[in-house]
Structure 1
Amino acid sequence: MATLLYARVSTAEQTLDHQQAQAEAAGFTFDHVIADRGVSGVNVLMKDRPEGKRLFDMLRSGDVLVVRWVDRLGRNYADVTDTIREFIRRGVIIRTVINNMTFDGSTTDPIQMAVRDALIAFMAATAQAQAEATKEAQKAGIASAKAKADANDYKGRKPSYSRHQYDQVIDLLGKGASVTQAATETGLTRQTIYRIKDEPAAAEKALAMWGL
């Protein structure tokens, strides 16, 4: 039996190190670390990713697969639910660092199975919904920024956060993290976290205005 970490980032400016560091801080140790870099969780299915394919080949019954959260497996509802259920059928135990969730196929009780499957479905749906909300916010911010630029409006102060940090904050707050937790993980001040939390559209627009 082996314990594997699967990590994924979708843009070149993001790093994988913090996913492994966060998992190790939570007490996990790994026999293998599998990572996909620059791969979209929305548009590229797990089985079509370079390291995702490798993960399917490596996992065996009794193995433990650790992910930061289910959105690292993907942000496509059907793909995430299919992937988790396939791994469970193989006898793989899936654990998340955030919220310390465990999914396995050991139970034969129909009620417990129904609760497990419903939770998987909910978490996968949340991952896709967050991706779609972020995309819409980005589109709205860009459109607004272009309109402002056309009118030669002042861009305002340059944001103290990057696009990656903004996405991280939205992601963490969406999962129920506190402002303090979000500040610690992103390296931003609590004041900045509150600004993004209270006015996400304005925070997104500021990034777009500066072309970030």
Structure 2
Amino acid sequence: MPKTVLYARVSTAEQNLDHQKKQAEAAGFKIDKVISDNGVSGISTKLSDRPQGKRLFDLLQKGDTLVVRWVDRLGRDYRDVSDSIRHFMREGVVIKTVINGMVFDGATKDPIQQAVRDALIAFMAATAEAQAIATREAQRAGIAAAKSDPRTYRGRKPSFTRESFEAVIAMLDQGVGASAISSATKLSRQAILRIRQDRSSAERALALWDL
């Protein structure tokens, strides 16, 4: 029987796997199984090199659905994301995202539709890589600033975690409004606006609090 598998990456202790599952369910998905990689960086580790990411390649079969929060869960860069999506499509697996409800499958045989689909995959993969690069640079800047003066006043602890910050950035980059993002992430609209206005400061706050 076809199954729906949610793949999540939880990179910090602050992140909540149950929250990710609830987000997917709120988007209309009925999840049969959850697979999660804990403490693994999606910026530096290929999907096939992650302990649980490897399981996906053996577990998923024709007719199954793979659910991810966003395409950046499926690789560390453009090539990795593209290769992962195309591999699963060749195997007859449908990939769906929680954010924006994107769907990728190999069902269509129409050359025009295939070309449109492939162009969309390329665009999404490029967006994921650009976001990863921006996140990596912001992390470096935030950590450097925090380490430059150990006595630096950390200020109020952020209301968002690394996971929710990345989710907000991903949705902002897709043009999602602050109110919709607030509803999806359970963060206040004010927090969303602060992140939108000054991503570097938000990243620095995460670094200062080691989140």
TM-score, length-scaled by structure 2: 0.86
Q: Which stretch of the first structure deviates more once superposed, 166-175 or 55-64?
A: 166-175
Partner of residue 156, structure 2: 158
- 8 Å CA contact 2:45, 2:76 repeated in 1: no
User: Is the contact between residue 155 and residue 210 of structure 1 (CA under 8 Å) also seen in structure 2?
Assistant: no
Rounded to whole Å, the distance in 2 between the matches of 1:160 and 1:44 is: 27
List alignment gaps of at least 5 residues for structure 1.
none
- The answer (yes or no) to whether the contact 1:68–1:96 under 8 Å persists in 2 is yes
**Corresponding residue for residue 43 of structure 2:** 42
User: Partner residue of 1:18?
Assistant: 19
AA aligned to 1:77 is: Y
Structure 2 contact 10–38 (Cα < 8 Å) conserved? yes
Give the whole-Å Cα distance in 1 for the aligned partners of 2:92 and 2:208.
49
State the Cα distance separating 1:6 from its structure 2 match.
Answer: 1.4
Q: Using a 3 Å threshold, how does the CA distance of structure 1 residues 205 and 114 change in structure 2: closer, same or farther?
A: same
Cα shift readout 1:43-96 (whole Å, capped 9, x = no counterpart): 221122221121111111111111121112223211111111011111111111
2:127 corresponds to which residue? 126
Verify the 8 A CA contact 2:23 2:98 in the aligned structure 1. yes
Change (3 A) 1:19 1:3: same
> What do you get for the CA RMSD once the two structures are aligned?
2.3
User: Bigger CA drift: 120-129 or 163-172?
Assistant: 163-172
Q: Is the 8 A contact 2:11 2:38 kept in 1?
A: yes
1:210 Cα deviation after fit: 5.6
Q: Which amino acid aligns with 1:141?
A: G
**What's the CA shift string for 1:117-143, capped at 9, x where partnerless?**
111111111111111111212222333
TM-score by length of 1: 0.85
Q: Cα–Cα, structure 1 residues 204 and 51, in superposed 2: closer, same or farther, change >3 Å?
A: closer
Q: Which whole-Å deviations, capped at 9, do the CAs of 1:12-53 have from their partners, x for residues lacking one?
A: 322221221111112211222222111111222112222112
State the alpha-carbon separation in 2 of the partners of residues 26 and 175 from structure 1.
17
Percent of aligned pairs with the same amino acid: 59
Provide the C-alpha distance between the structure 1 equivalents of 2:184 and 2:175, rounded to a whole number of angstroms. 14
Q: Residues 166, 25 of structure 1: CA spacing in aligned structure 2 closer, same or farther, 3 A cutoff?
A: closer
1:174 aligned residue: 173
Helix, strand or coil for the counterpart of 2:114?
A: helix
Matches within 5 A, 1:54-203: 54-147=55-148, 149=149, 155=153, 157-164=155-162, 165-203=164-202
> How many aligned residue pairs are there?
209
| Paired letter, 2:119 | A
Question: Which stretch shifts more, 23-32 or 174-183?
Answer: 174-183
Instruction: Indicate conservation of the 8 Å contact 1:158/1:210, yes or no.
Output: no
